[in-house]
Every structure is written in structure tokens, then in C-alpha cells.
Structure 1
Amino acid sequence: MANEELAFQNKEKDKRAAELVIANKELAFQNEEKAARAAELIIANEELAFQNKEKDKRAAELVIANKELAFQNEEKAARAAELIIANEELAFQNKEKDKRAAELIIANEELAVQNKEKDKRSEELIFANKELAFQNEEISYLSYHDQLTGLYNRRFYEEELKRLDTPRNLPLTILIGDLNSLKLINDFFGHAMGDELLKKTAEIIKQGCRADDIVSRIGGDEFVILLPKTNAFEAQVIIKRILELASLEKAGLIDISISFGYETKKHKEDKIQEVFKKADKHMYTFKLFESPKIRGNTVDMIIKAFQDKNKRLEQHSQRVSKLCERMGQVLGMFDYQIEELATVGLLHDIGKIAINENILNKPGKLTVDEWKEIKRHSEIGYRILSTANDMSKMADYVLAHHERWDGKGYPRGLKENEIPFESRIIAIADAYDAMTSERTYSIALSAEAALVELQKNAGIQFDPELVTVFIEKALGK
């Protein structure tokens, strides 16, 4: 039993030994596995340690990165704040831009208007420049030309005289012309007619001269002609040609009358101003010699023009002349006195040639100024007739024919015997015919009514004795 137990135990031992061998093998394998595992574990630990180092390094980098991130976040926050400010600034700038854009639109519109204005102004400026250029040309022309006649003026004449006063232009003749009776024409026909006479005279003088002659108007009625390389004979030919042309022309009803004088510079030693003075003296000598004829012709021309101008006044003057002639006869005056009285009766209203026709023929009452204008006619008539030597006394009679016996007449306020005898006769004849004739401003009175008016004003307006003679003898009433 014991053997069996022992055998069993031996079997169990063998089994246990076999299991133990297996177990040892298993253990050896496990130990190998453990060793392998341990080696792996070492490697793993090394790897882990490396990883831990990497993690630490990464952690350190992460810390740094976090710090950097925190810094960046701070920067971002600062940048965000700056961006907010920038956005606000941008928004403000955009508003300013919009405002500026609106202003720019307005400015552009304003600029467009200004450009239009500039274009307009530019056009105006171009026109103004053209006008200025024209004015400059006109000023340049006027600086050397007489505005009325178109001839050269005194300034040009004086400059040309200096230029031409050289030996190569000898003989140099200065020809001076003076338009006769210009003042009379201006006084009695008006300055418009005087201007027309001057222009016509200038044309004639220019036409009678040669192309290179210098023709100038140096005064109101005075012309100077510079004739280089011209002797006295040639100057006389030019004067004759001008006078012949003048005889064929008129300015309206007015004949053209010019007096000439000349002098020639023959030697370079001669003073040109002395030559001018001699030419001027010669002209005035001729004018003085011819003046009675000239004045007589002018007065005749004025009388004819007066008669042609107003037929009603002409007829009135003829009736007054006959009444004056009759008064001279009944008063027993000499024939020459009667003729003179009749003539002055014919000419008593000649001054009205200078009075506006609208005033002379006005149907209604005259204004104060128009009456002043009418009252000028006796003085104008005096100036006309006094220019002719043989009419000087008649001029005095015409001047005084509107004086009154009581001293309230015009133009000098003479009274009673201060008034020339002939003027007192004319006053009565003039008033009687005026009252008995149809006029634009009044109807004619009967002869009886007119005589009543004369008697009523005897010793007031008229010489009372002459009124009696006029009624009882001249009219035979």
C-alpha cells in the first residue's frame, strides 16, 4: 500500500515534475517574454522618457506659444481697438469724403459756371481786345488827324514841318488858307452848317493839291499846306486850282470863300518860322483887302437864305418895308434916308434866320426859354448887318427895333429918344403888320382894331408923335 502510495506519489511527482518542467519552460518563456518585455519596457521607458522630454519641450514651447498667443491676443485686442478706432476714423473720413464729394460736386458745378463765365469773359475779352485795338488805331489816327475834316492836324503839321525843313526839300513853300465868314455862318446858320462848310472846304483844298502835299487844319478856320520842292509860281498854280474848284461848289446855299497867302523858303539859312509868319501876314493882307466884298457877299447870301427859309416872314418883311418907306415919305426924309429905312424894314427880322423853325411857327404860347430865344433875333440881326461896312447904321436900327418908349423893351432897355428914330418907325410898322396879319399863334385884327391898339400903347410902347403920323398920314386914317 505504501508502495502503491509511493508509486502514486511518484507518479504524482513525475506528473508534477513534468508539469514543473512545463512550468519551468513556461516560466523560462515567460522570463524570455519578460526579458523581451523588459527590453521593450526599457525602450518604451526610454521612448517615454524621450516623449516626456519632448512633452516637456513641447510643454515649454506650448508655454512660450501660449505666452506668444497671449501676447498676440493682446496685440489682436490692441489691433482690434486700433481697428475700431481706425473704423471709426474711416467712418468719419467716409463722412468727410461724402461731405467733400458733395462739396466737390457743388464746386464742380460752380467751376462749370465759372468756366462758362470764363469762356464768356474770354469772348468778351477777345471782343474788348479787338475793340481796344480798333480804339488804339483810332487814337493813333486822331492823334495826327483833324476829327472833323479828316485832314492832318496841327501836331502832325508841326512834326512834318521839322522833317521837311531840310536843304533837299528846297524850295519849300508854306501856303496858308483861311475860310471866310465862318463865324457868321456858325452864328446864323448854326454850327452844323459851319462844320459842313469846313468839311467841304477841306475836300476842295485836298482835291486841288498834289498827292505828296501835306494838307492840315491847324485852327478853327485855318488850313496850312506844306509844299516841298515847290516855288512861288507853282504855289500860285495850286491856289488858282483850289479857288476854281471852290467857285463850283457850295455847302447848302453857302458859297465857299477862302483867302490864301504863301511864302517860300529858298535858302537853308532862312528860318522856317519866319517863312510861316510871312505867309500868314500875306494871307491877312489879302483878306483885309477883300473883306468888304467878302462880307457883302456873305450878307447877301444870308439875306437870300432868310427869304428862302420862311416865306411868311419874307412877306411880312416886305409889307413892313413898304410901311417904313411910306413913313419916310410923309416925314419928308431925304431919298437916301427913305431907301435906307425901307431896306432896314426889309431886314429887321433877319436875325430870325438863326431861330429854330419850330419856335418861329409854334401855334401855342411860347415858353420862357422859347421867348428868350426869340428875343435874340434883334442881336443876331445886328451882328449879321454890322459885318458889312455899308450896313453898320442899319445894324443899329435893327438892334433897337424892339426897344420900348417906356424903357421896358429889349435888348438894352433904351427909352424915348435914346431909341434911334428909324428903330421907332420900324417898331410901329412891325407891330401894325403883325396885328393885321394871320399868324400861327393869333388871328388877324382888323385895321381899325390894330389902330386902337397902337393908340392905346402910344407913349408906353411906341413914340406917341410917330403913332399919330403913322395913323393920320402914312395910313391916311
Structure 2
Amino acid sequence: FVKAFNRLLAKETDDIYEEVRIHHSHGRPVWTFIRGSLNDTPTNSGQVIFSGILQDITDHKEKELEILHLSYYDHLTGLFNRRKYEEILQEVDCDNCLPLSVIMTDVDALKITNDAFGHQAGDYLLKHITEKLLLHFPPEVYISRIGGDEFVILWPNMAFNQAKKSIDQLNENLKKEVINGIPCSVSFGVATRTLLTQDVRDAIRDAEMIMYNSKLMKSRDYRSDIIEKVKMTFFENHPEERIHANLVKKYLFQLGNEFHLSESDLNSLLLLAEIHDIGKISVSSELLLKPLPLADDEIKQIQRHSEIGYRILASSYEYDKIALDVLAHHERWDGKGYPKKISEDEIPWKARFLSICEAFSSMIQTFPYRQELSILEASQEIIRHSGTQFDPEIARVFIEKVLKIEWKSN
């Protein structure tokens, strides 16, 4: 405003139109719009008179600034967004910023965190990583979130060796962080632009390639490790589910032997027994242990565990071969199960084996919401639902060969 007013005094302009932030007499800052001009005739004492209008535009200005902020900053993390990142690339494309180190970053566990614990947990993970990045890097570093799980860091006047050493230290610190039982693993890639003749986007591509190679090298073992940690967290929080898994494993092993399955198929069944309910990690303990009856929306929430389990397991090479069996283990022989409502031989054979052993094990086990049945009572339930819920051939073998109970249908 002072500069504009001086131009007015120098007769460089006839009017001024300025937005000015001032402090109200009550102490709070307000935004004002000032427009006015000088009177042509000075006073008898030679004073110049300025006449104009001062308008409070605080509400309008704050909304405008909010929109501007949203257009340049990521709404979740508060970091620069992709639009601002593209502008920063232009700013650092200069000799004064060399050497310019580019650090590409990818949060390894975001997808499995979203699948296992919900998007709220995924958001928390992203905000936690953001906090660690902001604490680690100095203020002159530009940190942007340019995708769901991707960040890019532009570090002016930073040589490659120093940037790499800094990232290695950050990576070691992040590995010690554990959220929802999962280590905060992040993949990094570093490249440095040293000459202005080099295209900055070449450095970005190099950093991105290094990051993806790092992610690829550790993804196989890392994803399996994460699934193992999710399983252990689930069992620690729900000891009754560990007992249930062991019961299922016992009966699946016996049933598989009665069908003379290969060692490979038997091992798959035993792994399936341990992991088939991993999707329940996304269901609250209160709901899992809630006494019956459940509301419709609660039933649907629990039923989603087979789909969530599938998404968790499908991301791992070690578990992807049984992911479809986990998805299908609540399908029914008559097509009235969930989630896909497939029937008979459309249901994978391992899922049909699991369906019987899982149901039987649940019936003979005491849960907080239900008393167990006797083995004889539970076997009658399997017989009664043979041909509707269960594969009739597998059901008969289970009753007659595994349980050694006479098949008596009502």
C-alpha cells in the first residue's frame, strides 16, 4: 500500500486499488480493500487530502486463500501437490541450484494397510511418513506428494553421496517404526543433476528407476513378511481365532489324506487353514465378538473379510496361489454363498475342502457369542447341509472317513 500511495503522490497514477492486511483495534488481523484518490486542491496549510473507501473483505479473502492453498498443497499431508511440484521444477532449473539431488519415494505398505485396516489407517500411515520426512530434511528441501503412495524430494545444492547417505539413515530409522504391526518400509531412489545442460527430468527418471528396482528387489520377501505380521497381529488380538485355525488345520490335513492328496496340495491346505480368515483383521474386535443376532450392515461388514483377505494375499507371490480359495471359502454348493455366488464345481476345490472343515471347527468351538456343539451334533449339521451348502462328495468323506461317524441323513 505504501508503494501504491507513493506512486499516487508522484502523480504516476490517479487512483489506487489495493488489498491490505491490517490489525483491527480488537487485535485480530483483517483483510481490507482500499480504493481512493487525492483531492486536486490541497488545504490552506498545504496538506494533501486522500479520500476513498476501506472495505472489510476478510471472509472473501480467506476463502480465496483457502482455494489457492488447496490448488498447491496436498489436502491429506499438507505437502506440495503435483501442480506446485511442476512449478518448483521450473524454479530449481537454474545454475544456482546445482548440484540438484532428486529423491523418489514410495510407501511400500500402503496398499496392504488400506486392504487390511481400511483407508483411514492408510491415511495415518501417509501422514506419519510425511512427519518423518519433514523432521529429517532441512527447510530448503522441496517435498511433494505426487501420487497415492509416491513422494518426490528436490534438494538444491546437495551432492549425490551426501543425499544417498541421508536417505540411508532415514530408511534405517523408518524400519524401526511399526504401525498396525507393520514396519514402515519405504523405497527410495536418488539421482543428482550436476550440469545445467542435463535435463532435470532425466534425473527424475533415473531416481524413479532406482526406486522401482529397490521396491522390486524387496517386494517378494517383504510382502510375505507383512502378511505374516498381519496374521500374528490378528492372532494376538484374537486368541480364539488361533485355536480355530489350528482346528481347521487338523481336519483339513486328515481330509486331504483321505483323498490321497500330494504333499504340495496338503501343504497348500495347511497354509490355507492358517490364513483363511486374515481378512477379519479389518473388522473391529467389538463386532467380531458381538453376540448374535447382528444387524444387516454388520453382517455385510463381516462378510467382506473374504474379499479383503483375497486382496491382502494376492499381493504376495507366496500366498497368491491360495488367494482365490480364501475369496471363495464362504461360497455354497447351491450358489447362495458370498461374495460371488458361484456354485458346485465353479468353487475351487480347496475352498470346498476348507468350507466343510471351517464350518465344523467353528461349530465345535466355544466363542464369546456362541456355545459349542458336540462332535455328533456338528456332524449332523454337515450332513443336513450336504448338497446345499457343502460339496456332497467331500462332506460324506469327511463324516465317514475323518470323523468315522455313520452317515444318517434325516
Equivalent of 2:266 in 335, 338, 343: 338
Distance 1:232 1:208 in 2: 17
Letter aligned with residue 311 of structure 1: P
Query: For 2:219, what is the secondary structure of its paired residue?
Result: helix
After TM superposition, the structure 1 = structure 2 runs for residues 290-369 of structure 1, keeping only pairs within 5 Å, are 290-369=218-297
2:176 to 227, 244, 248: 248
SS in structure 1 of the partner of residue 319 of structure 2? helix
Tell me the CA shift for residue 221 of structure 1: 1.0
Matched, 1:234 2:141: no
For the 8 Å contact 1:200–1:251, the answer to whether it is kept is no
Partner of residue 288, structure 1: 216
2:246 partner letter: Q
**Cα displacement (A) at 1:279:** 2.1
Match among 162, 184, 201 for residue 90 of structure 2: 162
Provide the secondary structure at the position in 2 that maps to 1:389. Answer: coil
2:395 paired with 1:467: yes
Q: Deviations over 1:185-227 (max 9, x none)?
A: 0121112211221122122223332342222222221111111
The answer to whether the aligner puts 1:379 opposite 2:307 as a matched pair is yes
Q: How far apart in 2 are the matches of 1:295 and 1:169?
A: 38
1: CA distance, partners of 2:396 / 2:274 = 23
2:330 corresponding residue in structure 1: 402
Aligned residues: 356
**1:238-283 alpha-carbon deviations (Å, 9 max, x no partner):** 2201101112212242210111112222221222223323322332
The corresponding residue for 1:14 is: none
In the TM superposition, 1:375-454 aligns within 5 A as: 375-454=303-382
Counterpart of 1:174 (choices 60, 82, 102) is: 102
TM-score with structure 1 setting the length? 0.69
C-alpha displacement of 1:176: 0.6
Map 1:40-79; keep pairs closer than 5 Å: none
**Preserved contact between residue 248 and residue 358 of structure 2 (Cα < 8 Å):** yes
Q: Judge conservation of contact 1:403–1:415 (CA < 8 Å) in 2.
A: yes
SS across alignment from 1:282: helix
**TM alignment of 1:14-163, pairs within 5 A:** 142-163=70-91
Bigger Rg, structure 1 or 2:
1
Instruction: Measure, in 2, the Cα distance between the counterparts of 1:391 and 1:124.
Output: 60
Give the distance between the partners of 2:140 and 2:379, measured in 1 at CA. 70
DSSP-derived class of the 1:176 partner: strand
Shift of 1:139: 5.7
Bigger CA drift: 301-310 or 388-397? Answer: 301-310
Read off the aligned partner of 2:178 and give its amino acid letter: K
- Report the structure, 1 or 2, having the larger strand content: 2
CA contact (8 A) 1:382 1:398 kept: yes
Q: Which runs of 5+ in 2 are unaligned?
A: 1-25, 32-55, 406-410
1:202 maps to 2:130: yes
Name the aligned partner's letter for residue 112 of structure 2: L
Structure 1 residue 451: deviation in Å?
0.9
Shift of 1:131: 7.2
Report percent identity of matched pairs.
Answer: 38
Question: CA offset at residue 372 of structure 1?
Answer: 2.0
Query: What corresponds to 1:370 in structure 2?
Result: 298
Please, what TM-score do these two structures have when normalized by structure 2? 0.79
Give 3-state SS (helix, strand or coil) of 1:371's partner.
Answer: helix
1:381 deviates by 1.0
* Partner residue, 1:455: 383
Q: Shift of residue 148 of structure 1? A: 2.8
Question: How far apart in 1 are the matches of 2:164 and 2:250?
Answer: 49
1:371 partner letter: I
Work out the CA distance in 1 between the residues paired with 2:398 and 2:351.
14
**Contact 1:157 1:216 (8 Å CA) reproduced:** yes
Aligned partner letter, 2:141: D
Q: CA deviation at 1:125?
A: 12
SS of residue in 1 equivalent to 2:154: strand
Q: Is the 8 A contact 1:344 1:394 kept in 2?
A: yes
> What residue in structure 2 maps to residue 259 of structure 1?
187
* Matched-pair contact (CA < 8 Å) for 1:399–1:411: yes
Report the AA paired with residue 284 of structure 2.
N
* Equivalent position SS for 2:318: helix
Structure 1: which 5+ residue stretches go unaligned?
A: 1-121
Contact kept, 8 Å, 1:208 with 1:241, in 2: the verdict is no
